[in-house]
Structure 1
Amino acid sequence: MSTLTHPSMSFARPRRRRAASLKQVLRQQLATWGGRVWAALETAGRLRAAPYLLQEARLIEASDPALAAALRQTTEPTLTAARATTPTRAH
């Protein structure tokens, strides 16, 4: 008689452990992907808001220079990162 004709419970137990491990791996991958999607959405939002913040800074420069400077400082890292990742055209 072989184990194929009389399966023992020892073969079923590793499957349960693998399933739990698979669930953990899937959860981790979903969390990673979710974090990447969230970061991409945040970046898109920052890039979309940057021109408006710069426009506001220009409009309030005369009345509140400190706020205008703060708005420019807020948008600077976003615009710098966007310039660094934007491919240049080959002429």
Structure 2
Amino acid sequence: MSLPRLNVRRHDKHCRAPITLAGETDLETAPLADASLRACLHDGVRTLDVDLTAVTSCDVSGLHAFPHAAAQARRAGGTPASRIGDPPAPPRSMPLSSAGAR
């Protein structure tokens, strides 16, 4: 049994629903993200706050889900928002060896 490639967590707070996506957003998993965002609007949530900091990869299929959800939120009188965290820190540089130095 394989683990899901995308995890969606919804944290309802009145008419705001922060949604955290973690994993890969691609052709296979984008429908899950889209369905989760549509469910929020259906449930009366008008502020979609999508946290993408834990998304490890996102192809064009995944990218299409977000503008589509934003447009739906605006049509419903809502406000879309997203947060894309800081990129991973580059690996620390290793000091050069002093081989050959005198």
Q: Using structure 1 for the length normalisation, give the TM-score.
A: 0.26
TM-score by length of 2: 0.24
Which is richer in strand?
A: 2
Structure possessing the higher radius of gyration over alpha carbons: 1
